[in-house]
Amino acid sequence: MTMLQIENLRTEFETPRGTVTAVNGVDLHIDNGEIVGLVGESGSGKSVLAQSVMRLVEDPGEITADELLFKGEPLLEKSEAEMTTIRGNEISMVFQDPMNSLNPTITVGEQIAETVRLHQDIGESISLPAEMKRKIIGASKASESWRRAIEMLESVQIPHPESRATDYPHEFSGGMRQRAMIAIALSCEPDLLIADEPTTALDVTIQAQILEELHSILEVFDTSILLITHDLAVVAETCDRVNVMYAGEMVERATTRELFSNPQHPYTQALLASTPQVETAVEELEPIPGTVPEPIDIPYACHFAPRCPEAKEECFEVDPAFRRVGSEDHEAACIRRDPVDGEVIENE
């Protein structure tokens, strides 16, 4: 079954300087029990895409889409109240900086317990006075929500969860905070977890642990994961399928194995060529010249054309449609690539 089905999603912001099209007609789908990667540099619109799915885009953002289906239901038609139930209950999110996402004045255990109470009916009052009381004198250690909080901490491999639950966020190390964030995100057993650069602020040794954690989540909780990152290697190690974004547009998608063994879009190729790799001593990296364009009324068709080594005049004029460029579902949006089966996918 398809967990998330996105077709032609656009997210635009009206600004005094023009319309910022942060996400420009993007398709994406995530199946049950899959880890899907979304790779892009800053300014690619990958985070806005995630916020659009959660409908958390800030004013004056406008989201439109031909389809934005979550478990077959259109998210754009939901009321704000229904969305609140979905957020956290069925889709939850993990952010880059765990310290900014945790409340510094409340113990980690209580923060998880609160999420449990709010999103799961476990028969504990969530009225304002009841919550106030908990915040002031601390939650009862015998309550169901507290017990669940400890279970969650345990399931994300935090040692001694009973004692750790009574700690405040600043008493946690960076990696443990990110684990705690994942615990909060998982505490209501979501169907889809969106992880936005979850390891960028962490050291490599900790990053490795968190990525492993994501894998075990998939098995234990049966949660689909959308992993957003700028790091190709993280995607290569973690994801089943990869989507590559550039300046608001999707440029290439394939299974991880196919994408990294046979990259087709010039941007993906250039990105790989500019990434230093730990196992091979390269003589010279090939940087991509220029910078990512600002997504304000980009006048040319293929957004990568001005930086593309293969661009020709047509690239600036003709919108590149997706075409199959390799085995299985390997597709790229580039007119310089001949479609494998002669078929160009129309959707823009």
Return the residues of window 70-109 that contact other proteins according to CB under 8 A: none
In the complex, what is the shortest distance from the CB of residue 237 to other proteins, in angstroms, rounded to a whole number?
4
Produce one character per residue of 219-231: b if its CB has 16 or more CB atoms within 10 Å, e if not: eebebbbbbbbeb
Amino acid at 288: I
Tell me which of 230, 255, 344, 348 binds other proteins, using CB under 8 A.
Answer: 230
Q: How far is CA 318 from CA 12, 38, 306, in A?
A: 22, 25, 14
Between residues 85 and 262, which has the closer beta carbon with respect to other proteins? 262
Amino acid at 239: C
Under the criterion CB under 8 A, does residue 313 sit at the interface with other proteins?
yes
284 to 303, contacts with other proteins by CB under 8 A?
284-289, 291-292, 294-300
Between residues 10 and 71, which has the closer beta carbon with respect to other proteins? 10
Between residues 42 and 105, which has the closer beta carbon with respect to other proteins? 42
Tell me which of 83, 120, 122, 260 binds other proteins, using CB under 8 A.
Answer: 260
Ranges of H-type helices in 244-312: 256-261, 266-274
Between residues 190 and 293, which has the closer beta carbon with respect to other proteins? 293
In the complex, what is the shortest distance from the CB of residue 56 to other proteins, in angstroms, rounded to a whole number?
18
Q: Could you please report the per-residue DSSP string of 148-213? A: HHHHHHHHTT-SSHHHHTTS-GGGS-HHHHHHHHHHHHHTT--SEEEEESTTTTS-HHHHHHHHHH
145 to 164, contacts with other proteins by CB under 8 A?
147, 159-160, 162-163
Under the criterion CB under 8 A, does residue 142 sit at the interface with other proteins?
yes
Angle at 81 between CA 67 and CA 6, to 5 degrees: 15
CA distance 11 to 20: 8
Under the criterion CB under 8 A, does residue 33 sit at the interface with other proteins?
no
In the complex, what is the shortest distance from the CB of residue 16 to other proteins, in angstroms, rounded to a whole number?
7
In the complex, what is the shortest distance from the CB of residue 77 to other proteins, in angstroms, rounded to a whole number?
30
Residues 6 or more apart whose Cβ sits within 8 Å of residue 347: 7, 8, 25, 27, 321, 322
Tell me which of 130, 141, 220, 343 binds other proteins, using CB under 8 A.
Answer: 141
| CA quadruple 124, 130, 135, 136: dihedral, nearest 10 | -130
In the complex, what is the shortest distance from the CB of residue 280 to other proteins, in angstroms, rounded to a whole number?
7
| Bridging pattern class, strands 249-255 and 241-246 | antiparallel
172 to 211, contacts with other proteins by CB under 8 A?
173-174, 176, 203-205, 207-209, 211
In the complex, what is the shortest distance from the CB of residue 310 to other proteins, in angstroms, rounded to a whole number?
5
| Number of residues counted as binding other proteins (CB under 8 A) | 80
Burial of 312 (0-12, 13-18, 19+ CB in 10 A): exposed
- Residue 45's nearest CA partner among 278, 249, 318, 303 is 249
Tell me which of 77, 276, 338, 341 binds other proteins, using CB under 8 A.
Answer: 276
Tell me which of 41, 154, 189, 348 binds other proteins, using CB under 8 A.
Answer: 41
Nearest-10 crossing angle of helices 128-137, 108-119: 160
What is the CB-side half-sphere exposure of residue 6 using CA atoms within 13 A? 23
In the complex, what is the shortest distance from the CB of residue 312 to other proteins, in angstroms, rounded to a whole number?
5
Under the criterion CB under 8 A, does residue 261 sit at the interface with other proteins?
yes
Q: How far is CA 264 from CA 233, 243, 251, in A?
A: 17, 13, 10
In the complex, what is the shortest distance from the CB of residue 130 to other proteins, in angstroms, rounded to a whole number?
21
| Bridging pattern class, strands 322-324 and 192-196 | unpaired
In the complex, what is the shortest distance from the CB of residue 157 to other proteins, in angstroms, rounded to a whole number?
10
Under the criterion CB under 8 A, does residue 54 sit at the interface with other proteins?
no
Tell me which of 277, 318, 327, 345 binds other proteins, using CB under 8 A.
Answer: 277
Tell me which of 125, 309, 318, 343 binds other proteins, using CB under 8 A.
Answer: 309
